[in-house]
Amino acid sequence: MQKNSVSYNQIMADLSKKIYSPVYFLYGEEPYYIDKISDFISKNVLTEEEKSFNQTVLYGKDVDAAIITNTAKRYPMMANHQVVIVKEAQETRNFEDLIHYIGNPLPSTILVLNYKYKPLDGRKKIFKTLQENAVVLQTKKLYNDKIPGWISERLKSGNYQIEPKAAMLLTEFLGNDLLKIENELRKLIITLAANQKIITSDHIERNIGISKDFNIFELQNALVEKNPVKTQQIIKYFAANQKNHHITPTITNLYFFFAKILTLHVLKDKSRQSIAAALKINPYFVSDYEKAARSFPLGKVIKIISLLREYDMKSKGSGNVSAGPEDLLMELTYKILH
């Protein structure tokens, strides 16, 4: 039976109902879901008394396929299952030799293979064997434009909410590291008042240290409003805080911002729903992009995108001898505004 189309939510639902598979192959670029499933199995399948004899954690760099196979073939002692978790399984020597065990796994063993970061060649026999005999989950990194939605859904599961702008601020500051984001969300929830269920930009600024006035979104707004004073203030703040506001992601974010404005200009259906779908944004921000499109006509946007590519190269040393990040951003934004 092929099981490779199973989702994270399906796996967690089955595990919660004590529906177990003899083999779990969890692989991909995003370790968050791999660790979540592995940790749940580690904590919940066996009782504390059963774990001492029936739960084994192995590390791929320290073992080979033979050691994993021999461990998995043991029978549980005074328990219904034994659990074998292989962390960093991508480092296992002779990993492909596991094909013999995976093709005929012991029903009383729950073998969890955490295969992170490295791809497994789908043409190899072991991949097909895993698909036919294991619960397989492939995890992919979320793009940054998907992170605010992920944050909202994560909070919703605990009956909390977050302002769209606050979700965007967290995304800018934390990127797409889901574990880091979840840890920060936990901290934010702890600091909420007893009757407060909504995380705001002010709350984030007080508790995480992200400025709600000096960030990429306020820079975009200053450019749209043609406000050179505010633009310069933000750039100076970025220059003084380059660890969190490096020039490369700043230019990249501006590029994506103006690329969305370009998309809006050429969009035939300019209904709110169509704009949100085409730009892959929360409908809450549609009016901001409509305003930006009025401020920057199509021809100007095309020139700005060309400028952003030019200054991205300059920030990396191409055609630039001495100008630092602050000078480059000052030049770039001056040309955008004029």
Q: What does the pLDDT look like over 300-334, one tens digit per residue?
A: 999 999 999 999 999 888 876 567 889 999 999 99
| Every domain of the chain and the residues it spans | 8-139, 144-208, 216-337
Least confident of 68-82, 208-222, 303-317: 208-222
Mean of pLDDT values over 80-103:
95
3-state secondary structure 159-228: CCEECHHHHHHHHHHHCCCHHHHHHHHHHHHHHCCCCCCEECHHHHHHHHCCCCCCCHHHHHHHHHCCCH
CATH of 8-139, one of 3.30.1490.100, 3.40.50.300, 3.90.550.10, 3.10.450.50: 3.40.50.300
Q: What does the pLDDT look like over 98-150, one tens digit per residue?
A: 999 999 999 999 999 999 987 777 788 999 999 999 999 999 998 888 899 99
Residue 28 has pLDDT above 70, yes or no: yes
pTM, rounded to two decimals: 0.76
Task: For the domain covering 144-208, report its CATH number.
Answer: 1.10.8.60
If one counts every other C-beta atom within 10 angstroms of the C-beta of residue 143, the result is: 9
- Written as one letter, the residue type at 5 is S
What SS3 class is residue 295? helix
Q: Is the domain covering 216-337 a CATH 3.30.450.20 domain?
A: no
What SS3 class is residue 253? helix
pLDDT at 145: 82
